[in-house]
Structure formats: C-alpha cells, structure tokens
Amino acid sequence: MERIRWELPRSNRHPAAAGGLMLELEVADGQVCRADPIPGREHRGAEKLFESRDYRSLLALANRHDWLGSFTSELGLAQLLEAFLGIEVPERARWIRTLLAEYTRMAHHLLWLSSTLAELTGPASPQAMGPVRTGHLARRLVLDGIESYSGTRMHPMLVAIGGLRADYPDGWLHEVQRSLPPVLDAAAVLRETYLAEDLGLTGLAPLSRSAAWDYSTSGPVARASGVGFDLRLDRPDECYQALIDAGSLRRVESTAGDAQTRLLVLTEQLAVSADCVRQCTEVLAEFDDGEPVNVDLPRSIRLPEGHGYAETENPGGINGWYLVSRGGTHPYRVKLRTGSYNNAAAMAAALPGTTLEQLPAAVFSFLLLAGDVDK
C-alpha cells in the first residue's frame, strides 16, 4: 500500500483544472483504496472579506468563489439582505433575475460538458471535436447575451439590493431568444456523444444515494445519485412556481450515480434551463418597458440585529449564505455553504476502486471549482 498526494493536472481547457484540487490517496497496484480530499490550497479568506465591506459592496464579491455560477451567488446574498430589510422586489425584476439565473446555468453546463469531452477525447478523436465546438459556440452566444446586458461576460454584478442595477437594453429579449435553438442543439449533440463515445465513464466513481445524503451533496451530483432535491422545485418562489405550472421547469434525476450519469444529468438540465429562459422571455415581453426593476434605498444601509440564512440552486450545487448582523453597516459574520465543498468531500466515498489513470475523468464529473471549495 502506497500513500501519495495527487493533484489534478493543470489545464487551461477545463474549469476544474485551474489548480488547487488535491487528494491524499492510498494506492495498491495502481488502484485507489482510499481517497481524502485536501481543501484549502486556494483559500482566500472570502468570508472575512465580506465582513470588512458594507452591505452594498458585498454583492461585488459574491460572484467570485463560484465564478461559473456568478449571478446566482449574487442573487442568494441579495435575497438574504432583502429578507432582513423587508424589501419587496418588483415583479418584473424577479422575472429578469430568474431568466439570468437560468441563463447562467446554461453557460455553466455548456462549458463543463464541452471542456470535459475535450479533456477525455483530445485531438485524437476528431468525431468528438465537432460536439465540443458546438457546445463552445452555443456558450459564446449565451455569454454574448450576458455581456450585452451587463458589459461583462464572467462577473455580471447586475444584482442590487431590491432588484437589479439596470434594466436590460432594447432588443435584448430577442437576442436571448435567438441563442436558445443553438443551446438546445448543443444539449442534444453532447448527450448523444456522451452516450455513443467509449469514454470510460460508465460505472466510474459511483456515488450511492446514502453516501450522497451523508455528505450533503447537492445539485447535479446529488440528483445523479437519486437525491432529487432541487430548490427551484421543492421551495419555489412565485416565478419558479409559474415555470413549474407551465411545464418548463422539470425535475431531472437518475439513480446510477456514476460519472456518466452525472454528465448526462447536465445535458438534460441544459435543455430544461433553455425552456425556462424561453418562458421567462415570453412573460417579460408582456410587461411595460418602463416598469421598475429596483427600489429606492437610503444612502447608508443598516441591517437590524439578528441572523438569517438564504440559499440558491447554483449550477453546481446549493450555495448558502448565513449572516449575523449587530445592527451596523457591515455584517458581523458571514458564512458560506458552497456546493463544491460538500461534493468534493463525497469523492472519499466514490473514488475507491478507481485507477490513477481514471482519476481526472472521475474528478471532472463532480463539478468542482477550487475557489468554490476553498473560499
């Protein structure tokens, strides 16, 4: 039995391979017998940074740890602050927020599916490069839409306490609608490729339903193991309830729990998010353009004393915010619950039995971002 430290090889082609993900392994004959994730290599003290900012400034930091689910992280913190302050967000702003949350989910899934396929096949498999390009081109259209609204592609910083910082520009809803057919095509092509290609994912790193519960996994990782909980469906707000009633938002889950299933769940969720975005554009088209997207706030914001928690269904898992206020302009304590942290911990149950050569593919399927793990 050999004990080694293994780091996911760095690559600029995959978001999980940006650096920082390390495992302590016990290996025998090239096979993993035990795996312990080692967090903290990219710890940046994010929670303490939040505690040193006033409440308006917090939102600019909220999209940094989960940089592929940036908008939904902003949204969760804003909803917590709004609950403290008793603010009612305008209905039109709530629908725009919902659209942007699902648009962000689409961008995340397209990048993850395309980049993972590229890493697993490489240039030696020309038949897989077509689907990879299809996915990246579809994501480019989604990012174009985000940039048209916010001026940036990765950290939109559109959420404000009480709504949004600005209204969307003229013609933006049509731009969003035009991006949806390529996204649906990419979802179908990527799903077909993952099913057809011999990628070695079937049966790889299986996570049982009980282990998924024990490690408090969430998002696609949990739903691929039979834990079907989805905040959008199980604790919906008015907008998500309307999407459920219209049949646009549907539960996606499976029970196999292996790497193949985790990635196939992403392809299905991609199509569901596209349906949700389409429905949101149709609802928003019925509003008058002049209807407000925010509320007036005082120059200085103070939260009443107390504590609260809010969470959102980020693309990679549940992102939670716990905040303690002592009545000032800064939070006394902010605690983050990130999807990547718990999903990374679950690898201890899933990786034994995996060979060293299979480890990158197994790790890719857990949707981990080092910054989201380490905060």
pLDDT at 83: 96
Distance CA 266, CA 261 (A): 9
Q: Of 204 and 11, which is predicted with more confidence?
A: 204
Q: Supply the range of the domain harboring residue 28.
A: 2-374
Phi, psi for 246 (deg, rounded to 5): -80, -10
pLDDT at 367: 95
42, pLDDT greater than 70: yes
- Candidates 268, 270, 132, 116; CA nearest to 199 is 116
pLDDT at 374: 73
pLDDT at 7: 87
pLDDT at 153: 87
Task: Quickly list H helices, 46-88.
Answer: 46-51, 55-61, 70-85
| CATH number of the domain residue 182 falls in | 1.10.645.10
Q: Of 359 and 198, which is predicted with more confidence?
A: 359
Q: What is the mean pLDDT of the chain?
A: 93
pLDDT at 123: 64
Residue pair 180/104 in contact (Cβ under 8 Å)? The answer is: no
271, pLDDT greater than 90: yes
pLDDT at 69: 87
Residue pair 80/323 in contact (Cβ under 8 Å)? The answer is: yes
Dump pLDDT digits (tens) for 101-160: 999 999 999 999 999 999 998 765 666 788 999 999 999 999 999 999 999 888 889 999
59, pLDDT greater than 70: yes
- Token pair of 79, please? 């909803």
Percent of the chain, pLDDT > 70? Answer: 99
Whole-prediction pTM: 0.95
pLDDT at 124: 59
pLDDT at 125: 66
Distance CA 149, CA 152 (A): 8
pLDDT at 239: 97
Q: Of 20 and 187, which is predicted with more confidence?
A: 187
Residue pair 215/232 in contact (Cβ under 8 Å)? The answer is: no
Q: What is the mean pLDDT of residues 258-267?
A: 97
Query: How would residue 373 be classed by pLDDT, with cut points 50, 70 and 90?
Result: confident
Dump pLDDT digits (tens) for 281-338: 999 999 987 899 999 998 889 999 999 999 999 999 999 999 999 999 999 999 999 9
Distance CA 118, CA 16 (A): 13
pLDDT at 259: 96
pLDDT at 138: 98
How many separate domains does the chain show? Answer: 1
- Token pair of 348, please? 């201890």
What SS3 class is residue 318? strand
